Amino acid sequence: MGRGIRSVLLAAGLIAALAAAACGVEAPAGTPVPTVPVETPVPHDAPVGMPNPAAVFCEEQGGTVSIRTGEDGGQVGYCVFADGTEREEWEYWRESHPVEVGAPSMADWARPTEGPPGTPQIVRQVSVEESQEIARRFVVESATFRFDGLDGSLELESTMAMPCPNCYAFVYAFDSRHAGYGDRTGLMLAQVITPHRASVVVEQGKVTKAVLDDVWDMLAQETVR
């Protein structure tokens, strides 16, 4: 389904606001939040210029990656082990890397205690591709999408690097069968295809902010205040 230019511009504005809030950037009123544009990564099942994290993880566990052609003509990677067992590589990766929600903890990224000025901060290294997959899974597993999201409608609209280490903001668009947000079990709902746009901030591999259509807090599951 085509997306209007106006909607894309609104989404870009929301990303900038989330970036400022997530990274603690303060600036005078009217000053735009500095951002560094990056190329939108291709889907995780296509060749990319960086190592496929699912394939790397498979090999680290002693497996061998086997690429096969599915019934739909697309390519699917499998992690094959020496004992003959095998797993779909991304499914195996996802089970071993559950989506983490919340602010980064000291266990994930360490700040230097004492040291000379200029001592670099050690942060958890998470690639843009890994961050994109974390954001995608967060949207798919959200209450709104699980309730009535249309399979196959999810699209990555934009990716933006933020002014903090390994921090990215993503905008995903999808359609649902009814209006409203969250789990609406038991409610009387009119069946109408409803477009949604989710803005998700991932910092050091964790979802720290997520807003749906500028009005719904996907973490707190309540209207944005």
Highest mean pLDDT (candidates 14-28, 92-106, 178-192) = 178-192
Q: Look at residue 48 and tell me whether its pLDDT is greater than 50.
A: no
Q: Residue 36: which pLDDT band, with cuts at 50, 70 and 90?
A: very low
Q: What is the pLDDT of residue 39?
A: 43
Q: What is the pLDDT of residue 42?
A: 39
Look at the pTM and tell me if it is higher than 0.85. Answer: no
Q: What is the pLDDT of residue 53?
A: 73
Domain boundaries, the chain: 5-45+107-223
176 or 38: whose pLDDT is higher?
176
Q: What is the pLDDT of residue 29?
A: 52
Q: What is the pLDDT of residue 115?
A: 47
Section 8-26 average pLDDT: 53
Q: Look at residue 105 and tell me whether its pLDDT is greater than 60.
A: no
How high does pLDDT run on average in the chain?
Answer: 75
How large a percentage of the chain has pLDDT more than 70? 62
Q: Look at residue 47 and tell me whether its pLDDT is greater than 60.
A: no
How large a percentage of the chain has pLDDT more than 90? 39
53 or 101: whose pLDDT is higher?
53
Tens-place pLDDT, residues 124-141: 688 999 999 999 999 999
Q: What is the pLDDT of residue 99?
A: 53
3-class secondary structure per residue, the chain: CCCCHHHHHHHHHHHHHHHHHHHCCCCCCCCCCCCEECCCCCCCCCCCCCCCHHHHHHHHCCCEEEEEECCCCCEEEEEECCCCCEEEHHHHHHHHCCCEECCCCCCCCCCCCCCCCCCCCCCCCCCHHHHHHHHHHHHHCCHHHHHHECCCCCEEEEEEECCCCCEEEEEEEEEEEECCCCCCCCCCCCEEEEEEEEEEEEECCEEEEEEECCCEECCCCEECC
